[in-house]
């Protein structure tokens, strides 16, 4: 028994090494002075300096952040509505189709989503004159379409867990259903809304394929810039960028974990155990 546990833990350790080693190497080599990424020639911050003067990359990053934030906000609203529908409306007509449409974006290959949305935008442009050029709007709409499915998964799980008796109590005391939803339900699912927002934000910030399809001239997102410089091979500036992203994500996840825990312990609305 004991020997089996050890071999299990060995596989586990190997798995974690496999998952983390590549990113750790990127971080280490971002401080390397040499342009040859694999030869260590001394500590240097010069790639970070170059990164900060890379106008094209900074503009792209700013565009990506704006798209990601807009996308996340819309996706949280739509995803929460969809989660409400699935958890609170039982077996409504067309539920199977609804669930199918909500699952599809989770697995559908990016190339299909990207191509089909581009063809839609072209057709819409021809028939109704919207969206009037491709760029910020088209990328954001495309991102909302797949992000809302992820948000729905996160919010749905939380919504199914919360204690309904709190809502029932408020209702019995004569509160309007909308008031109950806003004052009782929303605070209870707030942690899920936060993680849903962050998830949608990162998904958007990360997308290369869909954005490449639905973008137009003049709208270049961060992944598009990264992709075009990475295709040429290894670039120390991208290593520096990777390090910044990893640090940023680590801080964000730590904050999210702490807030969720704080919210979770005080406000899950779970019945206190009586013993």
Partner 1 sequence: MASPFQNRPRPTRRASRLLNIGVPYLWLGLFLLLPVAIVLQISLAEPTAAQPPYAALWQWVEEGVLQIRLDFQSYRLLWSDSLYLASFLNSLQVALVCTLLCLLLGYPMAYAIATAPERWRLPLLMLIVLPFWTSFLIRVYAWIGILKTNGFLNNFLLWLGVIDEPLAILYTQTAVYIGIVYSYLPFMILPLYANLTRLDPTLLEAAADLGCRPLRAFLRVTLPLSRAGIVAGSMLVFIPAVGEFVIPDLLGGPQTLMVGRMLWTEFFSNMDWPLAAALALVLLGLLVVPFVLMQRWQQGALEDRP
Residue with tokens 């520096």: 240
* Among residues 41, 56, 103, 228, the one that binds partner 1 under rule CB under 8 A: 103
- Number of neighbouring beta carbons within 10 Å of residue 111: 12
Phi, psi of 43 (to 5 degrees): -75, 135
Give me the 185-214 binding string for partner 1, x by CB under 8 A, dash otherwise.
Answer: -----------------x--xx-xx--xx-
Please, which of residues 142-181 interact with partner 1 by CB under 8 A?
142, 144-145, 148, 152, 160, 164, 167-168, 171, 176-178
- Using CA atoms, how far apart are residues 250 and 236, in angstroms rounded to an integer? 21
Q: Considering CB under 8 A, how many residues would be counted as binding partner 1? A: 91
Stretch 31-60 residues interacting with partner 1 (CB under 8 A) = 37-38
Q: Is residue 68 a contact point for partner 1 (CB under 8 A)?
A: no
Contact flag: residue 84 with partner 1 (CB under 8 A): yes
125 close to 131: Cβ distance less than 8 angstroms: yes
Verify binding: residue 2, partner 1, rule CB under 8 A: no
Tell me the helices (H) and strands (E) count for the chain, helix number first: 12, 0
Give the chain's length.
275
Q: Which of 17, 45, 52, 123 binds partner 1 (CB under 8 A)?
A: 123
| 111 in contact with partner 1 (CB under 8 A) | yes
Of 44-52, 55-63, 91-99, 262-270, which segment contacts partner 1 by CB under 8 A? 91-99
How far is Cα 117 from Cα 131, in angstroms, rounded to an integer?
12
| Residue 219 vs 245, nearer CB to partner 1 | 245
Q: Which DSSP letter does residue 32 get?
A: B
d(CA 173, CA 197): 33
Q: How far is the CB of 58 from partner 1 (least distance, A)?
A: 16
x/- string (CB under 8 A) for partner 1, residues 211-230? -xx---------x--xx--x
The CA-atom distances, in angstroms, between 1 and each of 6, 11, 15, 69, 139 are 9, 16, 21, 50, 53
Instruction: Find all residues with CB under 8 Å of 246, minimum gap 6, and list them.
Output: 23, 26, 27
Q: Is residue 90 at the binding interface for partner 1, with CB under 8 A as the rule? A: yes
- Which of positions 238-267 make contact with partner 1 (CB under 8 A)? 238, 241-242, 245-246, 249, 252-253, 257
Give the other-Cβ count within 10 Å of 200's Cβ. Answer: 29
Task: Answer yes or no whether residue 76 interacts with partner 1 by CB under 8 A.
Answer: no
């Amino acid at each position: 028994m004991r020997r089996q546990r050890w071999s299990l833990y060995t596989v586990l350790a190997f798995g974690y090494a496999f998952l983390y080693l590549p990113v750790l190497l990127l971080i280490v080599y971002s401080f390397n002075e040499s342009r040859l990424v694999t030869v260590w020639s001394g500590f240097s911050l010069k790639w970070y300096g170059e990164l900060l003067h890379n106008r094209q990359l900074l503009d792209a990053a700013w565009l990506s952040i704006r798209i990601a934030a807009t996308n996340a906000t819309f996706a949280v609203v739509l995803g929460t509505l969809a989660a409400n529908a699935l958890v609170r409306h039982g077996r409504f007509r067309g539920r199977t189709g609804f669930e199918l449409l909500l699952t599809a974006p989770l697995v559908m290959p990016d190339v299909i989503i990207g191509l089909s949305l581009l063809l839609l935008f072209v057709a819409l442009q021809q028939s109704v004159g919207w969206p009037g050029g491709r760029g910020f709007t088209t990328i954001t709409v495309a991102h909302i379409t797949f992000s809302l499915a992820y948000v729905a998964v996160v919010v749905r799980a939380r919504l199914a867990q919360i204690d309904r008796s709190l809502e029932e109590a408020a209702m019995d005391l004569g509160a309007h259903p909308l008031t109950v939803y806003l004052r009782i339900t929303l605070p209870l699912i707030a942690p899920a809304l936060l993680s849903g927002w962050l998830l949608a934000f990162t998904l958007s910030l990360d997308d290369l394929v869909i954005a490449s399809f639905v973008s137009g001239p003049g709208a270049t997102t961060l992944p598009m810039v990264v992709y075009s410089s990475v295709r040429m091979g290894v670039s120390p500036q991208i290593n520096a960028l990777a390090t910044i992203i990893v640090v940023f994500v680590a801080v964000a996840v730590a904050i999210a974990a702490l807030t969720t825990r704080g919210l979770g312990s005080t406000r899950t609305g779970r019945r206190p155990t009586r013993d």
